[in-house]
Amino acid sequence: MENKLINITLKVWRQRGPKTKGAFETYKLDGVSVDSSFLEMLDMLNEKLISERKEPVVFDHDCREGICGMCSLYINGHPHGPDEDITTCQLHMRKFKDGETITIEPWRSHGFPIIRDLMVNRTAFDKIMQAGGYVSVNTGGFAEANAIPIPKRIADEAMDSASCIGCGACVAACKNGSAMLFVSAKVSQLALLPQGKKEGARRAKAMVAKMDELGFGNCTNTGACEAECPKNISITNIARLNREFLSAKFKD
């Protein structure tokens, strides 16, 4: 912690509603502590706007510790900003220089329409999950937890895939607006585990079909998603998804 203060200029996307035209507004913000988080900096901006009796910038956030996936923001051309392996809420102002101009935009993608300012609608992800992102088991209909041993390596690998926070940065980063990384993470997690394996092919097919239906683009293996994913979800998941998907096709 160093307690230094910096002055910055912000170019923020403001848009009243889904159908209205948006534009960048420029704001100057002085005396930002480098120890504060990026969202705390936006709080400061909003306090300033409110003191000028203006409406604050609307953005999504909740846990502010990188786990809920609620925060988004395209900062200086990167989903979740310039730092690696973190979400916007974990980004700190020490990553920026005194006098710097910071551009802040919403996720821009066909699958995520803008609601207002920096807030977008990501219900499409919920719909994809509803199409098959689960093991079909009812409460109470289970075996003893230790009945099926699962090698540590497999459990760890499933855990890595399960780390996806559903933020949508992968979609925002992709020039095709594809949701393949998100979908593949869930498909892989469940395909790796004996509990989820049985429905693997059906699940992959249903989730991919839903993704296509909702207007997400095709995956052309650019790898942009993996590079911007705050949780290090690997594109090897996409390869596994393709295998599951092919086996589903095969069975048809």
Partner 1 sequence: MTTNNEKNKIDSKVPQGPLAEKWTEYKAHQKLVNPANKRRLDIIVVGTGLAGASAAATLGELGFNVKNFCIQDSPRRAHSIAAQGGINAAKNYQNDGDSVYRLFYDTIKGGDYRARESNVYRLAEVSNNIIDQCVAQGVPFAREYGGSLANRSFGGAQVSRTFYAKGQTGQQLLLGAYSALSRQAQKGSVKLYTRYEMLDLVIIDGKARGIIARNLVSGKTERFSAHAVVIASGGYGNTFFLSTNAMGSNGSAVMQIYRKGAYFANPCYAQIHPTCIPVHGENQSKLTLMSESLRNDGRIWVPKKKEDAEAIRTGKLKPTQIKEEDRDYYLERRYPAFGNLVPRDVASRAAKERCDAGYGVGPTGLAVYLDFSEPIQRLGRDVVEARYGNLFQMYYKIVDENPYETPMMIYPAIHYTMGGIWVDYELQTSIPGCFCIGEANYSDHGANRLGASALMQGLADGYFVLPYTIQNYLAGEISTPRFSTDLPEFNDAEKGVQERIDRLMKIQGKRSVDSLHKELGLVMWEYVGMGRTKETLEKAIVEIKRIKKEFWSDVFIPGDGKDQNTELEKAIRLADFLEIGDLMARDGLLREESCGGHFRLEYQTSDGEALRNDEKFSYVSCWKYKGEDQEPEMLKEDLNYEFTKVQQRNYK
* Least gap, CB of 88 to ligand FES (angstroms): 6
Residue spans of alpha helices (H) in 11-137:
38-51, 123-132
Is residue 115 at the binding interface for partner 1, with CB under 8 A as the rule? yes
| CB 161 within 8 Å of CB 192 | yes
Interface residue with partner 1 among 29, 67, 214, 227 (CB under 8 A) is 67
What Cα–Cα distance (Å) separates residue 52 from each residue in 22, 41, 48, 58?
Answer: 21, 17, 6, 16
């000028």: which residue's tokens? 52
Listed in sequence order, the residues at least 6 apart from 13 whose beta carbon sits closer than 8 Å to its beta carbon are: 22, 23, 24, 104, 105, 106, 117, 118
* 11, 22, 129, 222: residue in contact with partner 1 (rule CB under 8 A): 129
When asked if residue 185 is in the footprint of ligand SF4 (CB under 6 A), the reply is yes
Only segment of 21-29, 50-58, 87-95, 103-111 that touches ligand FES (CB under 6 A): 87-95
Q: Is 85 in the site for ligand FES (CB under 6 A)?
A: no
> What is the rounded distance in angstroms from the CA atom of residue 208 to the CA atom of residue 84?
28
Site string for partner 1, 24-53 (x = CB under 8 A): ---------x-xxx-xxx-xx--x-xxx-x
Q: Would you state the structure tokens that stand for residue 169, as one six-digit string?
A: 């940065």
Question: Who's near 126: CB < 8 A, 6+ residues apart?
Answer: none
Reading the block at residue 81, the tokens are 């900003």
Least distance to partner 1, CB of residue 46, Å: 8
Residue 233 contacts which entry, ligand FES, ligand SF4, partner 1, none (Cβ below 5-8 A, type-dependent): ligand SF4
H or E segment and range at residue 205:
helix 200-213
Contact indicator for 137, 145 with CB cutoff of 8 Å: no
Measured from the CB atom, the residue of 34 and 196 that comes closer to ligand SF4 is 196
167: nearest Cα among 106, 211, 104, 239: 106
Q: Which stretch binds partner 1 (CB under 8 A): 100-108, 129-137, 169-177, 235-243?
A: 129-137
Closest C-alpha among 125, 88, 83 to residue 106:
88
The answer to whether 217 and 178 are in contact (CB under 8 A) is yes
Nearest distance, CB of residue 221 and partner 1, angstroms = 26
Q: How far is the CB of 6 from ligand SF4 (least distance, A)?
A: 28
Which partner, ligand FES, partner 1, ligand SF4, none, binds residue 71 by CB below 5 to 8 Å per kind?
ligand FES
Restricting to residues 140-169, which ones interact with partner 1 according to CB under 8 A?
140-146, 148-152, 155-156, 158-159, 162-163, 165-166
Q: Which residues contact 149 (CB under 8 A, 6 or more apart)?
A: none
Binders of ligand SF4 among 211-250, rule CB under 6 A? 229-231, 233
Residues in contact with ligand SF4 by CB under 6 A are: 164-170, 181-182, 185, 229-231, 233
Q: Point out which residues bind ligand FES (CB under 6 A).
A: 61-64, 66-71, 87-89
